[in-house]
Structure 1
Amino acid sequence: MSEHYVLNIQSSLTLAQAERMIDGALAAARAAELLPLTVAVLDSGGQLVAFKREDGCGVLRFDIAFGKAWGALGMGISSRTIRDRLGNRPAFQAALAAASDGRFVPVPGGVLALGAGRTVVGAIGISGDASDRDEYAAIMGVQAAGLASHPEAPAENWQSAGL
């Protein structure tokens, strides 16, 4: 092979996997009658792999969905866990937001996607409904792609959250 050809770079998450995550999340959301959602899927390096926004979503929803996924990747835990651990540490939350140029959104809806050996291969972030309901759709999306999720299950009260 000649030197002028570009070699393929292996991403941690394929486009097909990201699309299955998004489609699974949106299917679960429609079945649960959630509000319109915006979904962002990032690879383990924080790069956007795929994105969809349902009709009716506000203009900030992409930034929020991206920030939920970004924060989960940045801390190595779900955005629900971040919220729970940092709830009484507002100065640290502010520092994380500043360090991430505002891309850090510490509320449920950012879920890690785990591959073989529970290695993080990416994250999904969802915004559009109450945060616990966003997280439910995100978990369903990760599982629809045949991957494990962190957290493994939605919050117990996800159906009534924000209602």
Structure 2
Amino acid sequence: MLRNQLTLSLDLALSAMSAALAEARTLGVRVSVSIVDASGQLIHLAHMDGAPAPSRDIAHDKAWTAAGFGLATSAWEERLASMPASVRDGLMQRPRLALFGGGVPVKVEGSVVGAIGVSGASAEQDEQCAQAGVNAILAALNQA
């Protein structure tokens, strides 16, 4: 099913959303969760009661960035440190790029098929919630 489409279905996104929100509840944090397809288009967005209002857009930006680069947004801190200042400054001024933890790509057979972005808690907690969603997708695919 997914391997032919090379993108996420709504059913997989719903499963991932449940897992990401459950992880947030376990951590005791309130977040927004955005799930996008391989091209960064929104599939599903949830905003927990009490999550900061800007976290909606930030979660979407994290998912969009992770899908676009095929790289967890947490990896950018190290990458930016090794870049020339002009490149680093240019990237950091780009609209929509979220270059801090909380966005995780979903990869199947080496191809990016989507991504999950989470915002509202610490970067580490956001990423933990996003990874829980990714894990739910991968587990569902292994059962198919």
Give runs of aligned pairs for residues 102-141 of structure 1, distance below 5 A: 102-115=95-108, 117-141=109-133
Higher relative contact order (CA 8 A, sep 6+): 2
Identity of aligned residues (%): 35
| Corresponding letter in the other structure for 2:129 | A
Whole-angstrom distance in 1 between the partners of 2:90 and 2:66: 15
Regions of 4+ moved over 4 Å: none
- In the other structure, the counterpart of 1:142 is 134
- In the other structure, the counterpart of 1:24 is 19
Residue pair 2:39, 2:68 contacting (<8 A) in 1 also: no
Larger helix proportion of the pair? 2
Tell me the CA shift for residue 92 of structure 1: 2.6
Whole-angstrom distance in 1 between the partners of 2:136 and 2:33: 14
Count matched residues.
135
| Corresponding letter in the other structure for 1:133 | Q
Q: Cα RMSD over matched residues?
A: 2.0
Aligned pair in 2 of structure 1 residues 147, 85: CA closer, same or farther (>3 Å)? Answer: farther
Which ranges in structure 1 are unaligned for 5 or more consecutive residues? 1-9, 149-163
Aligned pair in 2 of structure 1 residues 24, 58: CA closer, same or farther (>3 Å)? Answer: same
Whole-angstrom distance in 1 between the partners of 2:139 and 2:89: 32
| Corresponding letter in the other structure for 2:12 | Q
Larger radius of gyration between Structure 1 and Structure 2: 1
- In the other structure, the counterpart of 2:50 is 56
| Corresponding letter in the other structure for 2:22 | A
